[in-house]
Chains A and B, each alone.
Chain A
Amino acid sequence: MPKENIYHNVPPLSQEALFSRRKKLAKNVVLLAVKYIVMVALAVFLLFPYVFMVSKSLMGMVDINAAKPMLFPKSGVYFSNYKVFLDYWPYFRNSLVVVAINGVFIPLTGFMAAYPFARREFKGKKIMFAVMMSTIMLPGAVVMVPTYVMFNALGLVDNLASQWVTAFFGGGAMNIFLMIQFMRALPKDFDNAALIDGANMVQIFFKIMFPMCFNVMVFIGISTIIGRWSDFQGPLIYLRTLSKMTIAVAFYKQFSASGASSNFTNVRMAMAVCMTVLPMILFLAFQKQMIGGVKIGGIKG
Chain B
Amino acid sequence: MRDSANISSGLVSHKKLGFKKWIKRDYGCYLFLLPIISGFFIFTVYPVVSSLFYSFTDYNGIYFSHVGFFQYQKIFSLGYGGMLKDVAYSFGITFLYAIIAVPLGMVLGYVVALICNREVKGVRVFRLLYYMPTIIPGVAMALLWADVFSLNGIANQFLDLFGLHSKFLEGEDSAFATLLFTSLWGIGGSVIMWLASLRNIPPEMYEAADLDGARYFTKLFKITVPMSTPMIFYNLINAIIGALQSFDTYAMVGRGPNDCLYFIAVRIYETAFGGGNQYGLASALGWLLFAVIAILTMIMFFTNKSWVNYGDGE
Contact = CB atoms under 8 A, between A and B. Distances in A.
Interface string B24-35: 011011101101
Contact of A137 (B112, B268, B294): B294
A241 to B, nearest CB: 16
B120 A35 contact: yes
Contact of A192 (B7, B153, B200, B268): B7
Interface residues of B, number: 100
Interface string B49-60: 011001000000
Interface in A287-301: 287, 290-291, 294-295, 297-301
Given A69-B157, A251-B140, A298 B115 contact: no
Nearest to A294: B192
A299 B25 CA distance: 34
Contacts, number: 291
B43 to A, nearest CB: 6
Interface stretch (B68-76, B80-88, B141-149, B217-225): B141-149
Given A119-B8, A192-B4, A232-B138, A146 B193 contact: no
A255 B28 CA distance: 51
Given A113-B33, A298-B231, A230 B193 contact: no
Interface in A252-279: 252, 255-256, 265, 268-269, 272-273, 275-276, 279
B147 A265 contact: yes
Nearest to A237: B273
A295 B148 CA distance: 32
Contact of A112 (B32, B131, B234): B32
A32 B120 contact: yes
A15 interface: no
A283 B26 CA distance: 39
B232 to A, nearest CB: 10
Interface residues of A, number: 99
A229 interface: yes
The 5 closest A-B pairs by CB, nearest first: A169-B39, A298-B193, A230-B137, A295-B196, A143-B47
Contacts of B32: 112-113, 115-116, 201, 205
A202 B279 CA distance: 44
B197 A299 contact: yes
B312 interface: no
Interface of A: 32, 35-36, 38-39, 42-43, 46-47, 49-50, 52-53, 56, 67-69, 71, 109-110, 112-113, 115-116, 119-123, 125, 128, 131-132, 135, 137-150, 152, 166, 168-171, 176, 188-189, 191-192, 195-196, 200-202, 205, 226, 229-230, 232-233, 236-237, 248-249, 251-252, 255-256, 265, 268-269, 272-273, 275-276, 279-280, 283-284, 287, 290-291, 294-295, 297-301
B26 A169 contact: no
Interface string B284-308: 0111011001100100000000000
A142 B283 contact: yes
B247 interface: yes
B229 to A, nearest CB: 10
